[in-house]
Amino acid sequence: MSEAPLNKDKQLALLALVLVGIAPTISIITGFGLKAGVIAIIVFILMKVWIFGLPAYWHLKIDGRPISWSKPENGGFMVATGLGLGMVVAIVAAYLLLGELMMDGEMLRTLLEPVGLTVAWKFGLAILFWVFVNSVLEEYVFRWFITSKAEMLLDGKWKPIFLSAAIFTLHHTIALSFFISPLGTLIGSCGVFVGGSIFSWVYVTYRSVWVAWITHALADVAVFAIAWHLIIG
């Protein structure tokens, strides 16, 4: 027997996943694949507006739900901090053990120079943006919106978590492929998938992007500390 077609709600959820999930990949390919310089920066900004604006529009207009600030009403801050610190240890340990096999500082500098990120103050500002703005945006998009839509498509707790993590991993894998070796890309992608699964689990458990953001931000601090060491010295 053939499977029943998706109902309207599931069709809309799937469409939302595609429209939002593809935007970061477009930005990555434009910036690092095509090395489009100023155009890449414009595309990056447009994609950020897209992935921020579309979920809000969808939530308010298509789903017809009220504005929510994702208040952390269920606790979880200590758990999130503990998980984040554990990820810091794992990321630093992976770099110390496998860094030379995975990463080439000169290649990183070559790729980042067209967008000005080999200059210390510019890279420093970019790090602040990624840790305190971009990671919040990613939690808003990938945990609140995408994980919620995945829950409409899939049963149980873990299937939506893993689907959200897979979508989160996609553009990171493409980005990693421009910066590090194939082995590094594989290892890094596995790490991103595990990290995305942890972030999604925190969100599903405590239902607040702010709690999940703590874990995410701590992991990002470790990643960008390593990036600073490789690029700036």
Structure confidence by residue, pLDDT tens digits, 160-210: 999 999 999 998 999 888 777 788 889 889 999 999 999 999 999 999 999
More confident residue, 113 or 149: 149
More confident residue, 80 or 7: 80
Contact 40, 30 (CB under 8 A): yes
SS3 sequence of 83-108: HHHHHHHHHHHHHHHHHHHHECHHHH
Q: Rounded to an integer, what distance in angstroms lies between the CA atom of residue 119 and that of residue 222?
A: 20
Whole-number percent of the chain with pLDDT over 90: 52
> Does position 49 have pLDDT exceeding 50, yes or no?
yes
Query: What is the mean predicted confidence (pLDDT) over 102-108?
Result: 73
Dihedral sign of CA atoms 59, 65, 67, 73 in order: negative
pTM: 0.87
Contact 218, 84 (CB under 8 A): yes
Contact 194, 168 (CB under 8 A): no
Q: How far is CA 84 from CA 12, 91, 156, in A?
A: 33, 10, 25
Collapse the DSSP code of 103 into the 3-class scheme (helix H, G, I; strand E, B; otherwise coil) and give the result: strand
Token digits for 84?
A: 């984040």
At 94, the amino acid letter reads A
Whole-number percent of the chain with pLDDT over 70: 94
Query: What is the mean predicted confidence (pLDDT) over 112-131?
Result: 87
Q: Rounded to an integer, what distance in angstroms lies between the CA atom of residue 10 and that of residue 15?
A: 9
> Does position 2 have pLDDT exceeding 70, yes or no?
no
Give the count of beta carbons closer than 10 Å to the beta carbon of residue 60: 12
pLDDT digit string, tens, across residues 6-37: 688 889 999 999 999 888 888 888 876 666 56
Lowest mean pLDDT among 21-25, 71-75, 112-116: 112-116
Contact 127, 228 (CB under 8 A): yes
Residue 189, judged by CB atoms within 10 A of its CB (0-12, 13-18, 19+), counts as: middle
> Does position 232 have pLDDT exceeding 70, yes or no?
yes
Residue 33 is predicted with a pLDDT of 66
Q: Rounded to an integer, what distance in angstroms lies between the CA atom of residue 94 and that of residue 55?
A: 34
| Maximum mean pLDDT: which of 62-66, 126-130, 171-175, 200-204 | 200-204
Q: Rounded to an integer, what distance in angstroms lies between the CA atom of residue 126 and that of residue 143?
A: 22
Report the largest interatomic distance among the alpha carbons of the chain, rounded to a whole angstrom: 61
